[in-house]
Chain A
Amino acid sequence: MEKPVSSSRPKVAIKGIRDGLLVTVDDAGAWEDAQEALLEAIGSQAEFFQGARVALDVGTRPLKAAQMGKLRDLLGDFGITLWAVVSESPKTQETARSLGMATRLSRPAPAPRRPAPSPAGEEALLVHRTLRSGMRIAFPGHVVVIGNVHPGAEIVAGGNIVVWGRLRGVAHAGADGNESAVVCALDLSPTQLRIAGRVATAPPRRGRPAPEMASVKDGQVVAEPWDGK
Protein backbone atom coordinates (compact mmCIF):
# COMPACT_ATOMS: atom_id res chain seq x y z
CA MET A 1 0.00 0.00 0.00
CA GLU A 2 1.31 3.45 -0.86
CA LYS A 3 1.61 5.70 2.12
CA PRO A 4 0.04 9.12 1.64
CA VAL A 5 2.75 11.72 1.12
CA SER A 6 2.73 13.90 4.16
CA SER A 7 5.45 16.34 3.17
CA SER A 8 6.45 17.60 -0.26
CA ARG A 9 10.11 16.73 0.24
CA PRO A 10 11.51 15.75 -3.14
CA LYS A 11 12.36 12.10 -3.60
CA VAL A 12 15.63 10.91 -5.05
CA ALA A 13 16.04 7.56 -6.80
CA ILE A 14 19.35 6.09 -7.93
CA LYS A 15 19.83 3.25 -10.34
CA GLY A 16 22.65 1.78 -12.40
CA ILE A 17 22.49 2.30 -16.15
CA ARG A 18 24.77 1.02 -18.86
CA ASP A 19 27.76 3.09 -18.02
CA GLY A 20 27.23 4.92 -14.80
CA LEU A 21 24.32 5.92 -12.63
CA LEU A 22 21.00 7.60 -13.29
CA VAL A 23 19.71 9.79 -10.49
CA THR A 24 16.06 10.80 -10.71
CA VAL A 25 14.67 13.70 -8.71
CA ASP A 26 10.89 13.99 -8.65
CA ASP A 27 8.95 17.20 -9.24
CA ALA A 28 7.88 17.90 -5.67
CA GLY A 29 9.08 20.95 -3.77
CA ALA A 30 11.64 23.63 -4.51
CA TRP A 31 14.88 22.97 -6.42
CA GLU A 32 16.98 23.91 -3.40
CA ASP A 33 15.27 21.15 -1.40
CA ALA A 34 15.73 18.70 -4.25
CA GLN A 35 19.41 19.56 -4.40
CA GLU A 36 19.75 19.07 -0.67
CA ALA A 37 17.99 15.69 -0.81
CA LEU A 38 20.24 14.68 -3.67
CA LEU A 39 23.44 15.64 -1.86
CA GLU A 40 22.22 13.88 1.25
CA ALA A 41 21.57 10.68 -0.68
CA ILE A 42 24.99 10.86 -2.22
CA GLY A 43 26.78 11.89 0.97
CA SER A 44 25.41 8.83 2.74
CA GLN A 45 27.02 6.60 0.11
CA ALA A 46 30.04 8.71 -0.77
CA GLU A 47 32.27 5.68 -1.17
CA PHE A 48 29.94 4.14 -3.75
CA PHE A 49 29.70 7.35 -5.77
CA GLN A 50 33.40 8.24 -5.74
CA GLY A 51 34.54 8.62 -9.35
CA ALA A 52 31.07 7.82 -10.76
CA ARG A 53 29.55 9.20 -13.95
CA VAL A 54 26.10 10.42 -13.17
CA ALA A 55 23.18 11.37 -15.40
CA LEU A 56 20.41 13.36 -13.74
CA ASP A 57 16.71 13.26 -14.60
CA VAL A 58 14.91 16.32 -13.22
CA GLY A 59 11.46 15.68 -14.73
CA THR A 60 9.73 18.91 -15.70
CA ARG A 61 11.79 21.29 -13.59
CA PRO A 62 13.09 24.32 -15.49
CA LEU A 63 16.68 24.85 -14.33
CA LYS A 64 18.78 27.95 -14.80
CA ALA A 65 22.48 27.83 -15.64
CA ALA A 66 23.43 29.05 -12.17
CA GLN A 67 21.46 26.23 -10.52
CA MET A 68 22.72 23.48 -12.76
CA GLY A 69 26.28 24.77 -12.71
CA LYS A 70 26.26 24.92 -8.93
CA LEU A 71 25.03 21.34 -8.69
CA ARG A 72 27.69 20.17 -11.09
CA ASP A 73 30.38 21.88 -9.04
CA LEU A 74 29.02 20.44 -5.79
CA LEU A 75 28.94 16.93 -7.26
CA GLY A 76 32.42 17.49 -8.62
CA ASP A 77 33.62 18.01 -5.07
CA PHE A 78 32.42 14.45 -4.33
CA GLY A 79 34.48 13.21 -7.27
CA ILE A 80 31.32 12.74 -9.34
CA THR A 81 31.04 13.68 -13.00
CA LEU A 82 27.65 15.05 -13.99
CA TRP A 83 27.65 14.39 -17.73
CA ALA A 84 23.98 14.58 -18.68
CA VAL A 85 20.79 16.24 -17.49
CA VAL A 86 17.56 14.78 -18.84
CA SER A 87 14.35 16.77 -18.62
CA GLU A 88 11.06 17.44 -20.34
CA SER A 89 11.62 21.15 -19.81
CA PRO A 90 13.05 22.88 -22.91
CA LYS A 91 14.61 25.49 -20.60
CA THR A 92 16.50 22.81 -18.70
CA GLN A 93 17.61 21.14 -21.92
CA GLU A 94 18.95 24.42 -23.22
CA THR A 95 20.79 25.09 -19.96
CA ALA A 96 22.39 21.65 -20.04
CA ARG A 97 23.56 22.20 -23.60
CA SER A 98 24.96 25.65 -22.78
CA LEU A 99 27.01 24.05 -20.01
CA GLY A 100 28.33 21.44 -22.40
CA MET A 101 26.33 18.53 -20.98
CA ALA A 102 24.36 15.89 -22.80
CA THR A 103 20.56 16.02 -22.68
CA ARG A 104 20.01 12.40 -23.59
CA LEU A 105 21.55 9.22 -22.36
CA SER A 106 24.05 8.17 -24.98
CA ARG A 107 22.28 4.89 -25.67
CA PRO A 108 18.58 4.21 -25.60
CA ALA A 109 17.33 3.13 -22.19
CA PRO A 110 17.11 -0.64 -21.91
CA ALA A 111 13.69 -2.15 -22.39
CA PRO A 112 11.77 -2.79 -19.17
CA ARG A 113 13.00 -5.91 -17.46
CA ARG A 114 10.95 -8.97 -18.16
CA PRO A 115 11.57 -12.44 -16.85
CA ALA A 116 14.67 -13.92 -18.46
CA PRO A 117 13.74 -16.01 -21.49
CA SER A 118 16.02 -18.80 -20.43
CA PRO A 119 16.54 -20.14 -16.93
CA ALA A 120 20.21 -20.93 -17.67
CA GLY A 121 22.83 -18.26 -17.09
CA GLU A 122 23.93 -16.01 -14.28
CA GLU A 123 24.10 -12.32 -13.60
CA ALA A 124 26.98 -10.57 -15.40
CA LEU A 125 28.09 -7.02 -15.99
CA LEU A 126 29.00 -6.16 -19.56
CA VAL A 127 31.55 -3.38 -19.90
CA HIS A 128 32.01 -2.25 -23.47
CA ARG A 129 34.91 0.19 -23.26
CA THR A 130 38.61 0.54 -22.60
CA LEU A 131 39.40 0.45 -18.89
CA ARG A 132 42.17 2.94 -18.23
CA SER A 133 44.48 3.47 -15.28
CA GLY A 134 42.57 4.44 -12.14
CA MET A 135 39.28 2.83 -13.20
CA ARG A 136 37.83 0.12 -11.02
CA ILE A 137 34.94 -2.21 -11.75
CA ALA A 138 33.50 -4.15 -8.83
CA PHE A 139 30.54 -6.49 -9.32
CA PRO A 140 29.16 -9.40 -7.30
CA GLY A 141 28.50 -11.53 -10.41
CA HIS A 142 30.63 -12.12 -13.51
CA VAL A 143 32.34 -9.31 -15.39
CA VAL A 144 32.70 -9.30 -19.17
CA VAL A 145 34.82 -6.62 -20.81
CA ILE A 146 34.84 -5.95 -24.52
CA GLY A 147 37.97 -3.84 -24.82
CA ASN A 148 41.41 -3.63 -23.27
CA VAL A 149 42.18 -3.36 -19.58
CA HIS A 150 45.18 -1.07 -19.15
CA PRO A 151 47.81 -1.24 -16.41
CA GLY A 152 46.52 0.58 -13.34
CA ALA A 153 42.89 -0.49 -13.93
CA GLU A 154 41.26 -3.07 -11.66
CA ILE A 155 38.40 -5.56 -11.96
CA VAL A 156 36.94 -7.29 -8.92
CA ALA A 157 34.25 -9.91 -9.59
CA GLY A 158 32.42 -12.31 -7.33
CA GLY A 159 32.36 -14.70 -10.28
CA ASN A 160 34.44 -15.04 -13.45
CA ILE A 161 36.19 -12.36 -15.47
CA VAL A 162 36.21 -12.51 -19.26
CA VAL A 163 38.15 -9.94 -21.26
CA TRP A 164 37.66 -9.83 -25.01
CA GLY A 165 40.87 -7.92 -25.44
CA ARG A 166 44.14 -7.48 -23.65
CA LEU A 167 44.16 -7.76 -19.87
CA ARG A 168 47.08 -5.83 -18.40
CA GLY A 169 45.63 -4.40 -15.19
CA VAL A 170 44.70 -6.19 -11.98
CA ALA A 171 41.98 -8.87 -12.06
CA HIS A 172 40.45 -10.50 -9.00
CA ALA A 173 37.91 -13.23 -9.72
CA GLY A 174 35.96 -15.22 -7.13
CA ALA A 175 36.51 -12.32 -4.78
CA ASP A 176 34.09 -13.75 -2.21
CA GLY A 177 36.24 -16.86 -1.88
CA ASN A 178 35.07 -18.90 -4.86
CA GLU A 179 38.14 -20.91 -5.91
CA SER A 180 36.43 -22.33 -8.97
CA ALA A 181 36.27 -18.90 -10.61
CA VAL A 182 38.32 -18.32 -13.79
CA VAL A 183 39.85 -15.39 -15.65
CA CYS A 184 40.02 -15.51 -19.45
CA ALA A 185 41.44 -13.02 -21.91
CA LEU A 186 42.49 -12.89 -25.53
CA ASP A 187 45.83 -11.70 -24.21
CA LEU A 188 46.29 -12.55 -20.57
CA SER A 189 49.12 -10.30 -19.33
CA PRO A 190 47.83 -8.93 -16.02
CA THR A 191 49.93 -6.90 -13.61
CA GLN A 192 48.46 -9.14 -10.95
CA LEU A 193 45.85 -11.89 -11.04
CA ARG A 194 43.92 -13.16 -8.06
CA ILE A 195 41.41 -15.95 -7.75
CA ALA A 196 39.68 -16.10 -4.37
CA GLY A 197 42.57 -15.73 -1.90
CA ARG A 198 45.35 -16.84 -4.26
CA VAL A 199 47.68 -14.37 -5.93
CA ALA A 200 49.74 -14.75 -9.08
CA THR A 201 51.96 -12.13 -10.62
CA ALA A 202 52.53 -12.11 -14.32
CA PRO A 203 55.15 -14.42 -15.74
CA PRO A 204 57.13 -12.73 -18.51
CA ARG A 205 55.40 -12.85 -21.86
CA ARG A 206 56.54 -15.65 -24.14
CA GLY A 207 56.05 -14.67 -27.73
CA ARG A 208 52.73 -14.16 -29.44
CA PRO A 209 49.67 -13.56 -27.30
CA ALA A 210 47.01 -16.25 -27.48
CA PRO A 211 43.73 -16.69 -25.61
CA GLU A 212 44.32 -18.10 -22.16
CA MET A 213 42.32 -19.11 -19.13
CA ALA A 214 43.58 -18.91 -15.55
CA SER A 215 42.19 -21.07 -12.77
CA VAL A 216 43.22 -22.56 -9.44
CA LYS A 217 44.81 -26.00 -9.69
CA ASP A 218 46.33 -27.72 -6.67
CA GLY A 219 46.15 -24.47 -4.75
CA GLN A 220 47.99 -22.47 -7.41
CA VAL A 221 46.84 -20.02 -10.02
CA VAL A 222 47.82 -21.39 -13.42
CA ALA A 223 47.19 -20.09 -16.92
CA GLU A 224 46.61 -22.45 -19.81
CA PRO A 225 45.98 -21.88 -23.50
CA TRP A 226 42.28 -21.75 -24.12
CA ASP A 227 41.44 -24.49 -26.57
CA GLY A 228 37.69 -24.44 -26.17
CA LYS A 229 37.45 -27.71 -24.24
Chain B
Amino acid sequence: MPGTVLTITSGKGGVGKTTATANIAAALASRGEKVVCLDADIGLRNLDLVLGLENRIVYDLVDVVEGRCRLRQAMIRDKRLPNLFLIPAAQTRDKTAVSPTDMVQLCNELRQDYDWVLIDSPAGIERGFRNAIAPADQVLVVTNPEVSAVRDADRIIGLIEAEEKGPARLLLNRLNPALVREGNMLDAEDVLELLAIDLLGVVPEDESVVVSANRGTPVALDANSRAGLAFRNIARRLLGEDVPLMPLEDSGGLLQRLGRLFGKGD
Protein backbone atom coordinates (compact mmCIF):
# COMPACT_ATOMS: atom_id res chain seq x y z
CA MET B 1 0.00 0.00 0.00
CA PRO B 2 1.49 3.38 -0.92
CA GLY B 3 2.28 5.68 1.99
CA THR B 4 0.63 8.92 3.04
CA VAL B 5 2.07 12.36 2.35
CA LEU B 6 1.32 14.66 5.30
CA THR B 7 2.20 18.32 4.91
CA ILE B 8 2.66 20.41 8.04
CA THR B 9 2.07 24.09 7.40
CA SER B 10 0.98 27.39 8.95
CA GLY B 11 0.11 30.93 7.98
CA LYS B 12 2.21 32.69 10.58
CA GLY B 13 5.87 31.78 11.05
CA GLY B 14 7.43 30.39 14.19
CA VAL B 15 4.33 28.60 15.48
CA GLY B 16 5.97 25.15 15.63
CA LYS B 17 5.84 23.45 12.21
CA THR B 18 9.39 22.16 12.37
CA THR B 19 8.93 21.04 15.97
CA ALA B 20 5.72 19.22 15.03
CA THR B 21 7.26 17.58 11.95
CA ALA B 22 10.25 16.23 13.88
CA ASN B 23 8.19 14.99 16.80
CA ILE B 24 5.34 13.42 14.87
CA ALA B 25 7.94 11.72 12.65
CA ALA B 26 9.83 10.40 15.65
CA ALA B 27 6.62 9.22 17.32
CA LEU B 28 5.43 7.44 14.17
CA ALA B 29 8.85 5.85 13.65
CA SER B 30 9.01 4.62 17.23
CA ARG B 31 5.70 2.83 16.60
CA GLY B 32 7.39 0.94 13.76
CA GLU B 33 6.25 3.07 10.81
CA LYS B 34 8.72 3.80 8.01
CA VAL B 35 8.95 7.58 7.90
CA VAL B 36 10.78 10.12 5.78
CA CYS B 37 10.80 13.84 6.60
CA LEU B 38 11.25 16.32 3.82
CA ASP B 39 12.41 19.81 4.73
CA ALA B 40 10.75 22.10 2.16
CA ASP B 41 11.91 25.27 3.86
CA ILE B 42 14.63 25.93 1.29
CA GLY B 43 17.04 28.63 2.35
CA LEU B 44 15.98 28.41 6.01
CA ARG B 45 16.49 24.78 6.80
CA ASN B 46 16.41 23.65 10.39
CA LEU B 47 14.61 20.34 10.57
CA ASP B 48 18.06 18.71 10.54
CA LEU B 49 18.98 20.65 13.69
CA VAL B 50 15.87 19.62 15.59
CA LEU B 51 16.54 16.01 14.65
CA GLY B 52 20.24 16.38 15.49
CA LEU B 53 21.39 15.33 12.01
CA GLU B 54 23.05 18.50 10.75
CA ASN B 55 26.60 17.17 10.61
CA ARG B 56 25.60 14.29 8.36
CA ILE B 57 24.26 16.35 5.44
CA VAL B 58 26.05 15.78 2.15
CA TYR B 59 23.30 16.20 -0.44
CA ASP B 60 19.94 17.98 -0.18
CA LEU B 61 16.52 18.31 -1.79
CA VAL B 62 17.73 20.64 -4.55
CA ASP B 63 20.55 18.23 -5.43
CA VAL B 64 17.95 15.50 -5.91
CA VAL B 65 15.65 17.68 -8.01
CA GLU B 66 18.50 18.93 -10.19
CA GLY B 67 19.86 15.42 -10.67
CA ARG B 68 23.18 15.88 -8.88
CA CYS B 69 22.58 12.83 -6.73
CA ARG B 70 20.22 9.91 -6.44
CA LEU B 71 17.31 10.11 -4.00
CA ARG B 72 18.94 7.48 -1.74
CA GLN B 73 22.10 9.53 -1.39
CA ALA B 74 20.25 12.52 0.02
CA MET B 75 18.44 10.49 2.68
CA ILE B 76 19.94 10.61 6.15
CA ARG B 77 19.06 7.82 8.53
CA ASP B 78 18.29 8.86 12.10
CA LYS B 79 20.80 7.66 14.68
CA ARG B 80 18.19 6.50 17.20
CA LEU B 81 15.39 5.25 14.99
CA PRO B 82 16.51 3.08 12.08
CA ASN B 83 13.25 3.59 10.16
CA LEU B 84 13.31 7.40 10.29
CA PHE B 85 14.93 9.36 7.46
CA LEU B 86 15.45 13.00 6.58
CA ILE B 87 15.85 14.72 3.23
CA PRO B 88 17.29 18.11 4.18
CA ALA B 89 16.58 21.41 2.47
CA ALA B 90 19.26 23.33 0.61
CA GLN B 91 20.57 26.18 2.69
CA THR B 92 22.14 28.21 -0.09
CA ARG B 93 19.29 28.32 -2.61
CA ASP B 94 15.84 29.88 -2.66
CA LYS B 95 12.36 28.45 -3.00
CA THR B 96 12.18 28.72 -6.78
CA ALA B 97 14.89 26.04 -7.11
CA VAL B 98 12.08 23.49 -6.65
CA SER B 99 8.65 23.47 -8.31
CA PRO B 100 5.36 21.95 -7.13
CA THR B 101 5.66 19.43 -9.94
CA ASP B 102 9.12 18.35 -8.73
CA MET B 103 7.63 17.80 -5.29
CA VAL B 104 4.75 15.70 -6.63
CA GLN B 105 7.11 13.48 -8.59
CA LEU B 106 9.52 13.08 -5.69
CA CYS B 107 6.73 12.15 -3.29
CA ASN B 108 5.24 9.67 -5.75
CA GLU B 109 8.59 7.89 -5.58
CA LEU B 110 8.87 8.09 -1.77
CA ARG B 111 5.31 6.85 -1.28
CA GLN B 112 6.28 3.48 -2.72
CA ASP B 113 8.82 2.74 0.04
CA TYR B 114 7.60 4.64 3.10
CA ASP B 115 4.46 4.59 5.21
CA TRP B 116 4.68 8.34 5.84
CA VAL B 117 6.23 11.26 4.02
CA LEU B 118 6.15 14.30 6.34
CA ILE B 119 6.77 17.67 4.70
CA ASP B 120 7.89 20.62 6.81
CA SER B 121 6.52 23.67 5.00
CA PRO B 122 7.87 27.20 5.15
CA ALA B 123 5.51 29.83 6.59
CA GLY B 124 3.47 32.03 4.28
CA ILE B 125 1.54 31.71 1.07
CA GLU B 126 4.20 31.95 -1.63
CA ARG B 127 5.95 29.38 -3.82
CA GLY B 128 7.38 27.52 -0.82
CA PHE B 129 3.88 26.86 0.49
CA ARG B 130 2.69 25.67 -2.91
CA ASN B 131 5.69 23.35 -3.17
CA ALA B 132 4.86 21.82 0.18
CA ILE B 133 1.15 21.45 -0.44
CA ALA B 134 1.20 20.11 -4.02
CA PRO B 135 1.98 16.46 -3.15
CA ALA B 136 -0.09 16.32 0.08
CA ASP B 137 -2.66 13.62 0.82
CA GLN B 138 -3.35 15.19 4.22
CA VAL B 139 -2.60 18.62 5.60
CA LEU B 140 -1.96 19.63 9.18
CA VAL B 141 -2.21 23.33 10.00
CA VAL B 142 -0.27 24.45 13.07
CA THR B 143 -1.30 27.51 15.01
CA ASN B 144 -0.77 29.07 18.41
CA PRO B 145 -3.68 30.30 20.51
CA GLU B 146 -3.18 33.93 19.47
CA VAL B 147 -5.58 36.03 17.46
CA SER B 148 -3.07 36.91 14.73
CA ALA B 149 -1.84 33.33 14.31
CA VAL B 150 -5.42 32.08 14.13
CA ARG B 151 -6.33 34.68 11.49
CA ASP B 152 -3.35 33.59 9.36
CA ALA B 153 -4.30 29.95 9.88
CA ASP B 154 -7.77 30.72 8.52
CA ARG B 155 -6.19 32.19 5.40
CA ILE B 156 -4.02 29.12 4.85
CA ILE B 157 -6.97 26.78 5.40
CA GLY B 158 -8.82 28.65 2.64
CA LEU B 159 -5.88 28.25 0.27
CA ILE B 160 -5.65 24.55 1.10
CA GLU B 161 -9.35 24.19 0.28
CA ALA B 162 -8.80 26.08 -2.98
CA GLU B 163 -6.06 23.60 -3.91
CA GLU B 164 -8.59 20.78 -3.29
CA LYS B 165 -6.33 19.48 -0.51
CA GLY B 166 -8.81 19.92 2.30
CA PRO B 167 -10.14 19.38 4.77
CA ALA B 168 -7.05 20.31 6.74
CA ARG B 169 -6.77 19.36 10.40
CA LEU B 170 -5.51 21.52 13.22
CA LEU B 171 -2.63 21.24 15.66
CA LEU B 172 -2.90 23.82 18.41
CA ASN B 173 0.59 24.35 19.79
CA ARG B 174 1.91 26.15 22.88
CA LEU B 175 -1.33 26.24 24.79
CA ASN B 176 -0.70 27.52 28.29
CA PRO B 177 -3.33 26.13 30.67
CA ALA B 178 -2.62 28.74 33.33
CA LEU B 179 -3.16 31.63 30.91
CA VAL B 180 -6.35 30.09 29.59
CA ARG B 181 -7.65 29.68 33.11
CA GLU B 182 -7.02 33.35 33.80
CA GLY B 183 -8.92 34.20 30.64
CA ASN B 184 -5.79 35.64 29.01
CA MET B 185 -5.46 33.11 26.20
CA LEU B 186 -7.82 31.66 23.63
CA ASP B 187 -8.67 28.08 24.53
CA ALA B 188 -9.03 25.16 22.16
CA GLU B 189 -12.78 25.66 21.88
CA ASP B 190 -12.40 29.33 20.89
CA VAL B 191 -9.88 28.46 18.20
CA LEU B 192 -11.98 25.64 16.79
CA GLU B 193 -15.03 27.87 16.75
CA LEU B 194 -13.12 30.46 14.74
CA LEU B 195 -11.56 28.06 12.26
CA ALA B 196 -14.30 25.46 11.85
CA ILE B 197 -11.97 22.52 11.17
CA ASP B 198 -11.18 19.25 12.93
CA LEU B 199 -8.65 19.16 15.73
CA LEU B 200 -5.87 16.58 15.58
CA GLY B 201 -4.24 17.56 18.84
CA VAL B 202 -3.23 20.17 21.38
CA VAL B 203 0.39 20.51 22.51
CA PRO B 204 1.02 22.45 25.71
CA GLU B 205 3.65 25.13 26.16
CA ASP B 206 6.55 23.13 27.55
CA GLU B 207 10.14 24.21 28.00
CA SER B 208 11.37 20.66 27.44
CA VAL B 209 10.54 21.32 23.72
CA VAL B 210 13.20 24.03 23.56
CA VAL B 211 15.73 22.07 25.57
CA SER B 212 15.43 18.96 23.44
CA ALA B 213 15.42 20.94 20.17
CA ASN B 214 18.76 22.41 21.17
CA ARG B 215 20.02 18.96 21.99
CA GLY B 216 18.75 17.47 18.72
CA THR B 217 16.55 14.89 20.47
CA PRO B 218 12.82 15.11 19.67
CA VAL B 219 10.78 15.54 22.82
CA ALA B 220 8.43 12.82 21.61
CA LEU B 221 11.11 10.32 22.67
CA ASP B 222 11.13 11.69 26.22
CA ALA B 223 8.73 9.63 28.30
CA ASN B 224 8.46 12.32 30.97
CA SER B 225 7.60 15.29 28.77
CA ARG B 226 3.99 16.49 28.57
CA ALA B 227 4.54 17.90 25.09
CA GLY B 228 6.15 14.59 24.14
CA LEU B 229 3.02 12.72 25.23
CA ALA B 230 0.86 15.12 23.22
CA PHE B 231 2.94 14.43 20.09
CA ARG B 232 2.78 10.67 20.68
CA ASN B 233 -0.99 10.93 20.96
CA ILE B 234 -1.13 12.86 17.69
CA ALA B 235 0.85 10.10 15.98
CA ARG B 236 -1.59 7.50 17.30
CA ARG B 237 -4.53 9.51 15.98
CA LEU B 238 -2.84 9.66 12.58
CA LEU B 239 -2.63 5.88 12.71
CA GLY B 240 -6.39 5.76 13.19
CA GLU B 241 -6.53 5.16 16.93
CA ASP B 242 -9.22 6.92 18.89
CA VAL B 243 -7.17 8.67 21.57
CA PRO B 244 -9.08 11.15 23.71
CA LEU B 245 -7.55 14.57 24.38
CA MET B 246 -5.57 14.32 27.58
CA PRO B 247 -6.72 16.52 30.46
CA LEU B 248 -3.92 19.04 30.05
CA GLU B 249 -4.63 19.25 26.33
CA ASP B 250 -8.23 19.99 27.12
CA SER B 251 -7.45 23.13 29.06
CA GLY B 252 -10.30 25.55 29.39
CA GLY B 253 -12.58 22.56 29.14
CA LEU B 254 -14.40 20.49 31.66
CA LEU B 255 -11.61 19.86 34.16
CA GLN B 256 -10.74 23.51 34.57
CA ARG B 257 -14.36 24.42 34.79
CA LEU B 258 -14.85 21.87 37.54
CA GLY B 259 -11.73 23.23 39.22
CA ARG B 260 -13.19 26.71 39.12
CA LEU B 261 -16.47 25.50 40.46
CA PHE B 262 -14.79 24.02 43.48
CA GLY B 263 -12.63 27.06 43.97
CA LYS B 264 -9.38 25.24 43.22
CA GLY B 265 -8.06 26.46 39.90
CA ASP B 266 -4.58 27.78 40.60
Which A residues lie at the B interface, using CB under 8 A? 53, 65-66, 68-70, 72-73, 76-77, 81, 83-84, 98-102, 129-135, 148, 150-152
Contact = CB atoms under 8 A, between A and B. Distances in A.
Q: Which of B101, B127, B130, B152 has the most CB of A within 10 A?
A: B101
A54 B31 CA distance: 41
Given A102-B164, A134-B155, 11 more contacts: A65-B105, A73-B100, A76-B127, A99-B134, A100-B135, A130-B158, A130-B161, A130-B196, A148-B196, A152-B151, A152-B154
A66 B101 CA distance: 8
B129 to A, nearest CB: 10
B261 interface: no
Contacts of B134: 99-100
Nearest to B127: A76
Interface string B173-214: 000000000000000000000101000000000000000000
Contact of A133 (B104, B127, B152): B152
Given A81-B163, A130-B196, A73 B101 contact: yes
Nearest to B147: A151
A100 B134 CA distance: 7
Interface residues of B, number: 24
Contacts of B157: 132
Interface of B: 99-101, 104-105, 108, 125, 127, 130, 134-135, 151-152, 154-155, 157-159, 161-164, 194, 196
A116 to B, nearest CB: 31
12 contacts: A69-B101, A73-B99, A73-B100, A77-B127, A81-B163, A84-B164, A99-B101, A101-B164, A130-B161, A132-B157, A151-B151, A151-B194
Label chain A's interface by main secondary structure: mixed
Contacts of B164: 83-84, 101-102
Contact of A53 (B135, B162, B194): B162
A152 B158 CA distance: 11
Nearest to B99: A73
Contacts of A133: 151-152, 154-155, 158
B135 A135 contact: no
Given A76-B130, A148-B196, A65 B155 contact: no
Q: Which of A70, A101, A131, A134 has the most CB of B within 10 A?
A: A134
Nearest to A101: B164
Nearest to A135: B158
B158 A98 contact: no
B4 to A, nearest CB: 13
Given A76-B127, A100-B134, A132 B100 contact: no
In order of increasing CB-CB distance, the 7 nearest A-B pairs are: A69-B101, A132-B158, A134-B155, A133-B154, A133-B155, A73-B99, A132-B154
Contacts of A77: 127
A152 B152 CA distance: 9
Nearest to B194: A150
Contacts of A98: 104, 108
B152 to A, nearest CB: 7
Given A65-B105, A102-B164, A130-B196, A72 B151 contact: no
Contacts of B196: 130, 148
A101 B158 CA distance: 17
Nearest to B152: A133
B130 to A, nearest CB: 5
A72 B130 CA distance: 11
Contacts of A99: 101, 104, 134
Contacts of B99: 69-70, 73
Contacts of A81: 159, 162-163
Contacts of B104: 69, 98-100
Nearest to A150: B154
